[in-house]
């Protein structure tokens, strides 16, 4: 059997799906300012493909370190880019959005780096004592649902920036924008995601500090 080459790894089926995610995300960025409906659909496709690449990787035994990094970088880049647009249309809340971007990027980078530098095979391998993170990463249905709610919440805010879009008449509240309705529905999952980010950042800090302490103690012996 011939050896697998680096070029073959780059063109694994799940990695091709990852490239498609990158393309659709970039396309949505160019449409974002003037075409909310097209943007929502195309950005949504990019996010939905996130659930497909892992399935294909397992089905065809094509898991790879490159694919894992591509997946995470694409996740963080697409979300951050959408939040950047929200900073433009909702400038009053820009500091909050900046904090959310910082939390998302730093928690995931620290978590992956801490896990790999500590000898872990994957940032999704969580000890059961970290019950919330364990629930989040060990059950694909929970991971998919929470991530979907997180992305849809930001898309709801994006849609809300277009006041000409659909409004629905609700009891008590009266005429309500579709973005507001979707945002309220997704809010619990969104909050869960932010709490998970804080917890995984704390876990990463402890893993790194523990490793540093162990190394420092070895040097003293």
Q: How far apart are CA 195 and CA 90, in angstroms?
A: 23
Tokens of 58: 């397992």
d(CA 49, CA 110): 25
212 is catalytic: no
Taking a C-beta distance cutoff of 8 angstroms, is the pair 71, 53 a contact? yes
Distance, in Å, from the CA atom of 147 to the CA atom of 151, rounded to the nearest integer, reads 6
Tokens of 163: 């006041």
Q: 75, 104, 212, 214: which is the annotated catalytic residue? A: 75
For the four alpha carbons of 194, 199, 205 and 211, in that order, the dihedral sign comes to negative
Q: What is the dihedral of CA 10, 105, 141, 26, to 10 degrees?
A: -50
φ, ψ (nearest 5 deg) of residue 175: -70, 120
Complete DSSP assignment for 126-177: --TTSHHHHHHHH-HHHHHHHHHHHHHHHHHHHHHT-TTS-EEEETTTEEEE
Catalytic residue annotation = 75
């Amino acid at each position: 059997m011939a050896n697998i080459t680096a070029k073959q790894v780059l063109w694994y089926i799940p990695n091709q799906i990852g490239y498609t995610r990158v393309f659709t995300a970039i396309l949505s960025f160019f449409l974002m300012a003037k075409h909310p409906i097209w943007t929502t659909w195309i950005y949504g496709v990019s996010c939905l493909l996130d659930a497909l690449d892992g399935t294909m990787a397992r089905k065809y035994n094509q898991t790879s370190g490159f694919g894992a990094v591509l997946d995470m970088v694409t996740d963080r880049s697409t979300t951050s880019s959408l939040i950047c647009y929200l900073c433009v249309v909702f400038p009053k809340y820009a500091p909050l959005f900046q904090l959310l971007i910082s939390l998302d990027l730093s928690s995931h980078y620290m978590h992956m780096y801490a896990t790999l530098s500590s000898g872990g095979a994957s940032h999704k391998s969580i000890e059961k004592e970290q019950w919330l993170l364990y629930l989040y990463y060990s059950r694909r249905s929970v991971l998919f649902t929470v991530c979907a709610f997180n992305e849809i919440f930001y898309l709801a805010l994006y849609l809300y920036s277009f006041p000409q879009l659909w409004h629905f008449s609700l009891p008590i509240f009266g005429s309500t924008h579709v973005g507001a309705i979707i945002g309220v529905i997704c809010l619990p999952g969104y909050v869960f995601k932010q709490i998970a980010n804080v917890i995984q950042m704390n876990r990463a800090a402890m893993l790194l500090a523990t490793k540093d302490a162990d190394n420092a103690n070895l040097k003293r012996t």
